[in-house]
Amino acid sequence: MSTHTSSRTLILERIRVARRAAQPAPYANLPRPYIRVGSLRSGARLQLLMERLREYGAEVTGCAPDAIPQAIAASIAHSGHRRIVAPPGLPAEWLAPGAHRGTHPGTDPGTDPNVYVEWLIDHNLSIDQIESCHGVVTACSAAVADSGTIVLHHSATEGRRVLSLLPDWHLCVLRASQVVETLPEYFAQCIQPPALVTWISGPSATADIEMTRIKGVHGPRSLHVLLVQDDASLEEPA
């Protein structure tokens, strides 16, 4: 379209005229005087992450690497949610014992053997189907302790964006080895910038009414982080 082209040309020309006297410095010269790599040992790093996640109202529990399925099942049972959606790449063994694709009875390892968990796996589920789920279980790509942030790149184990958005309860499985201390450390890991990212710092919130922080508006009202102790050098989370 001609107006489109001419506005483009016009704007770029105005910029060129505006900056004609400038002597711009190259990108490489940008100062980076801030802290890029953290200084905490791994135990303290995890402690910080847990503190900061909890400060914004997220729930954090820990588990051993070989106990993920049981921990997921326990979390679901504890949440009271019974209809759970999962991304297609989530390890099958993570689904509550006995569960697989479709609708199946799940067994609660802890308390109630009659608890029934209905799993939906996201093979092109409709929006309505996802909306009908009470909870979602995903993996994640990283976590940043300093800001209490979980990072999703929306791979097959993390699910497409809508999956971790509509259900009211989000259980995110995080391995301790994925936790960095600072935001720059996370970015340093991303050799190839991901096409999709969601940085999640606590559950949905607002402070729009009298600056009162309210947990949970449109996104999941509960965020539960399951921290998998996959590093032998780490102490137990509090």
Partner 1 sequence: MSPSAHPSEPHSILDPRHAPPFPLAALPVLRNPQLRKNVAHATDVIQARRDRLVAEKQDWQQLRDAASAIRTHVLDHLGEYLEQFEARCTAAGGQVHWAGDAAEARGLILRILREEQATEVIKIKTMTSAEIELNPALEAAGITASETDLAEIILQLGGEEPSHIVVPALHINRSQVREIFARRMGIPDLADDPHALAAAARAWLRKKFLTVPTAVSGANFLVAETGAVSVVESEGNGRMCLTLPRTLITLAGIEKLVPRFADLEVMLQVLARSATGERMNPYTSLWTGVTPGDGPQRFHVVLLDNGRTGILGRQTERQTLKCIRCAACQNVCPVYRQTGGHAYGSVYGGPIGAILTPQLMRMEHAQSLPFASSLCGACYEVCPVQINIPQVLIELRAQAVDQQRRVQSRLIDPLYLGMRAAASLFAGPRRFRAAQRMARIALRPFTHRDGPDHEEWIRSLPGLGGRWTLTRDLRGLPEQTFREWWAARAASAAPAAPAAPAAPAAPEGSAPAPKERP
Q: Tell me, by CB under 8 A, how many residues bind partner 1.
A: 71
Residue 10, H or E segment:
helix 2-18
Who contacts 93 (Cβ-Cβ below 8 Å, separation ≥6)?
68, 69
- In sequence order, what DSSP letters do the residues of 134-172 get, joined into one string? SEEEEE-SEEETTTTEEEE---TTT--GGGGTSSSEEEE
Looking at 68-76, 78-86, 107-115, 156-164, which segment touches partner 1 (CB under 8 A)?
Answer: 156-164
How many whole angstroms from its chain centre is CA 179? 12
Residue/partner pairs of 114-117 with CB below 8 Å, 24 or more apart = 115/77, 115/82, 116/82, 117/73, 117/76, 117/77, 117/82, 117/83, 117/84
Residue 53 or residue 71: which is nearer to partner 1 going by CB? 53
Residue type, 210: E
SS3 86: strand
Residues from 39 through 98 that contact partner 1 (CB under 8 A): 52, 56
Residue 87 or residue 106: which is nearer to partner 1 going by CB? 87
Looking at 16-24, 63-71, 100-108, 111-119, which segment touches partner 1 (CB under 8 A)?
Answer: 16-24
Residues from 128 through 147 that contact partner 1 (CB under 8 A): 128, 131, 144, 146-147
Looking at 65-73, 97-105, 111-119, 199-207, which segment touches partner 1 (CB under 8 A)?
Answer: 199-207
Residue 17 or residue 232: which is nearer to partner 1 going by CB? 17
Residue 69 or residue 203: which is nearer to partner 1 going by CB? 203
Looking at 28-36, 60-68, 104-112, 135-143, which segment touches partner 1 (CB under 8 A)?
Answer: 28-36
- In sequence order, what DSSP letters do the residues of 177-193 get, joined into one string? GGEESSHHHHHHH-SSP
- Nearest approach, Cβ of 101 to partner 1 (angstroms)? 18
156 sits near partner 1 (criterion: CB under 8 A): no
- Applying CB under 8 A, which of residues 2, 66, 112, 195 lies at the interface with partner 1? 195
- Applying CB under 8 A, which of residues 2, 33, 102, 233 lies at the interface with partner 1? 33
123 sits near partner 1 (criterion: CB under 8 A): no
How far apart, in whole angstroms, are the C-alpha atoms of residue 54 and residue 31? 34
